[in-house]
Chain A
Amino acid sequence: MKKSILFAVIMILVFMAGSVLAQEKRDFFKVGVVTSLSGELAFGGTVTKRGYDMWEDAVNAAGGIDIGGKKYKVKLVYADDQSTPATAAVGGERLITQEKVDVILGPYASGTTLALAPICEKYKVPHITGSAESPLVWLKKFKYTFGTIPPVNSNARSAIRTLAEEGKPKPQTIAVLGIDDAFSKFAAEAQKLEAEKLGIKVVKYEIVPEGSDYTPSVSAIKALNPDIFAMGNHEKAAIEMIKIAKELKFNPRAYTQHYGMSTPDFRKGLGKDIEYVFGNSVWTETMKLQGTILFKTPKEYGDAIRKKFNVDPDYTEAGCTAAGIAFQEALRAIKAAPPLTEAQKDALIGALEKLNLTTFYGQVKFATEGDFYHSNAGLAPITVQYQNGKLVEVGPPHVRVATMKYPTPPWDKR
């Protein structure tokens, strides 16, 4: 009897504490971040963290977000998704129900994003991912989820297009090797579809599990002697596939990859062998863009990232910082002071849908219909290639800073 009374008293106290917390007053925005800080995707998770932290730093250095003349600072609260979807969902739920965050910035990978998005729908909390690229995220038409990087089936096509349009001689055949995950598979498929559309014959299309030995697959592709060897992967497989191609003396006219090739680990891991590899991007530090919010140019952003983290920025960092900027501008537009009420969170969705920003990252404008619902429709993919150890834009013509090097010389003639 005594025990049950004690239990009841504790429960009442817990509820009281809960209601006090629910009514808490804050003079700053609490922004939840769910991303991979440990596990297989920790590398990418850290890239997103740099982008989000950069935004937090920059916006606070400017005094905070201006809401009707008063400035409110931003505080990020992290939840580690441990690179697994289930943990991403749990992490998101904790941020929303216990930390009472106003909005959420999303994970590195598409698989974890797909697990987090339904949680944001359930609790009606606006969520922007600065990294996820799988088209599956947008096909589900989540009302509360947005993304600053266009989906991979739009991004991963650029290099194939540049090669088909400008390659001399024009490539006739392609083999595609992709990793079986929510992102890489679509990166591979996008390259395949684009090749088919442009009249390049697909001689092999293979999806393999992450972590397998890719040697037999590369051997099978080598036997078909395709002009282009296209790969859909993250950084680890990106390094290993090129290593294997070299060992097997496989000499296609072009190597294309999405996305692993643009990471620092790829450059460090392969040294000189990165030369001539093609890839796709939506943003590089050398692009001629003019922004008005926080950073004026890609170069200024790049310098800020280097100063704070001592690494060169990739488009994922930029996309994550842009995700923060999107929230900031939408909050400013609806003049919502923290903490946000449920009605304000709903109003924020409307404001995000109306955004049309010109930033250091390019245009941020979320699609409001179609298969790319709520992903950024403001950016066009570009083709990049490693030349003399640097990633340079080689197409399409309006962004080109160097002519592409094609065909790739054989390994023994480099």
Chain B
Amino acid sequence: MELFLQTIIDGLLIGGLIIIVGIGFSLCFGVMHIVDFAVGEWVMLGAYAGYLMVRTFGHDPMIYLPVIFLIFFALGWLVYPLIFRAVSGKRHNPVIMGLVFTFGLSIIAKGGALSVWGYHIQSITTWLSGKGISIGVVTVPALRFSGFLFGLVVTLLFMAFLYKTKFGIIIRATAQDRDTANLLGTDVRKVGAFVYSLYAGVTGMSGVLIGALFSIHAAMGAKYATLAFFVVVLAGMGYVPGVLVAALVLGLLQSFFTVYVGGRYTLAALFLVMYGVLLITPKGILRRGI
């Protein structure tokens, strides 16, 4: 029973981490139809940004989260025109163009990080690192829990923004029908730039949390790209609220499979589930995706 409860907690907290990586990724796909292969590298760069700030200015990495958001928002704003150029114009298959372009970005970021920061594995610690809250028979790792809360808050903010503000409605309109939104006077390019920057900012922040939980190195992103793909397929491509459910399902699946079946084949099991979902319900488990 104790292990069962702990497995649920572990699963939910793993899910929380997947939310923070998947949420921006999903929005990015939903609005701009860009499958950003470089999602993992935003995580990696965010982690390094946190590491560099701690090394330069000291203090707890968590206090730099807002600054990192702004920095990565700005970076996203700078990178977006390049992506926009790659996916627009007279290109036959913009989705593939976006994929190839961001794949290139990911390789450049990875190689660049290896050249600049080297091959050493870096770590950052926050005041929450290594702390666990005992609730009855289960232990809730404090830093993971804060990541989970962060994921929830970001999702709620995203939803509120998308559904309750005028700009949110414009974004959703653009997601639904880009050409019509454009005809009605929406600056599709600006909307895209804003969404991409938002995504880069949130994903960069998640890097700090992930870096503190695990370890920081140039190749750390690949795993999160895989997870982001999983969660977006499961959630339904581009359906933002689905990310929450899908990420938690994915986290629980991973946790239960590891504990009760065996850790060796967890990734294989996740792939099987993803293929199953794609075959049976291509619009995601909530049937709300594209």
Contacts and interface: CB of A to CB of B under 8 A. Distances in A.
B259 A219 contact: yes
B266 A212 contact: yes
A269 B121 contact: yes
Given A219-B259, A220-B3, A220-B258, A411 B130 contact: yes
Contact of A216 (B122, B214, B259, B264): B259
Contacts of B2: 223
B119 A43 contact: yes
Interface string A39-54: 1101101100000000
Among A38, A40, A243, A268, max chain B CB count under 10 A is at A243
Interface string A382-398: 00000000000000000
Given A206-B262, A208-B263, A211-B223, A240 B255 contact: no
A121 interface: no
Contacts of A222: 6
Interface residues of A, number: 41
Contacts of B120: 43, 264-265, 268
B141 interface: yes
A268 B120 CA distance: 10
A222 B256 CA distance: 15
A247 interface: yes
B215 A236 contact: yes
Contacts of B130: 243, 246-247, 273, 411
A45 B17 CA distance: 31
B70 interface: no
A209 B215 contact: no
B123 A216 contact: no
A165 interface: no
Interface string A137-171: 00000000000000000000000000000000000
7 contacts: A43-B120, A208-B263, A211-B222, A235-B121, A236-B215, A248-B132, A264-B120
Nearest to B128: A247
A60 interface: no
Q: Which 10 A-B pairs have the closest CB atoms?
A: A208-B263, A247-B141, A42-B119, A269-B123, A216-B258, A223-B3, A216-B255, A246-B130, A265-B121, A220-B259
A219 B215 contact: no
A213 B14 contact: yes
Contact of B264 (A40, A206, A264, A265): A206
Contacts of B114: 38, 42
B283 interface: no
Interface string B110-140: 0100100001111101000111101000010
A240 B217 CA distance: 13
Most buried by A among B111, B130, B254: B130
A268 B264 contact: no
Nearest to A246: B130
B219 A39 contact: yes
Interface in A255-300: 264-265, 268-271, 273
Interface of B: 2-3, 6-7, 10-11, 13-14, 17, 111, 114, 119-123, 125, 129-132, 134, 139, 141-144, 213-215, 217, 219, 222-223, 254-256, 258-259, 262-264, 266-267
A317 B253 CA distance: 42
Contacts of A220: 3, 7, 258-259
A208 B129 contact: no
A206 B258 CA distance: 9
A240 B3 CA distance: 21
B262 A247 contact: no
Given A46-B119, A208-B264, A215-B10, A236 B3 contact: no
A249 B3 contact: no
User: Which of A38, A207, A220 has the most chain B CB atoms closer than 10 A to its own CB?
Assistant: A220
Nearest to B212: A243
Give the most central of B254, B255, B263: most A CB within 10 Å.
Answer: B263
A248 B254 CA distance: 18
B118 to A, nearest CB: 8
B122 A208 contact: no
Given A38-B114, A220-B259, A247 B132 contact: yes
Given A239-B121, A247-B132, A248-B132, A269 B264 contact: no
A150 B43 CA distance: 39
A249 B123 CA distance: 20
Contacts of B129: 243, 247
Given A42-B119, A216-B255, A209 B219 contact: no
Given A236-B215, A243-B129, A247-B144, A209 B266 contact: yes
A87 to B, nearest CB: 15
B143 A247 contact: yes
B263 A247 contact: no
Interface string A7-31: 0000000000000000000000000
B263 A206 contact: yes
B223 to A, nearest CB: 5
B7 A219 contact: yes
Given A211-B222, A216-B263, A239-B123, 16 more contacts: A38-B111, A216-B254, A219-B255, A220-B258, A236-B121, A239-B215, A243-B129, A243-B214, A247-B143, A248-B132, A248-B141, A249-B139, A264-B120, A265-B121, A269-B215, A411-B130
A233 B254 CA distance: 21
A222 B131 CA distance: 16
B7 A268 contact: no
Contacts of A235: 121
Nearest to A239: B215
Contacts of A42: 114, 119
Contacts of A236: 121, 215, 217
B166 to A, nearest CB: 40
Nearest to B256: A216
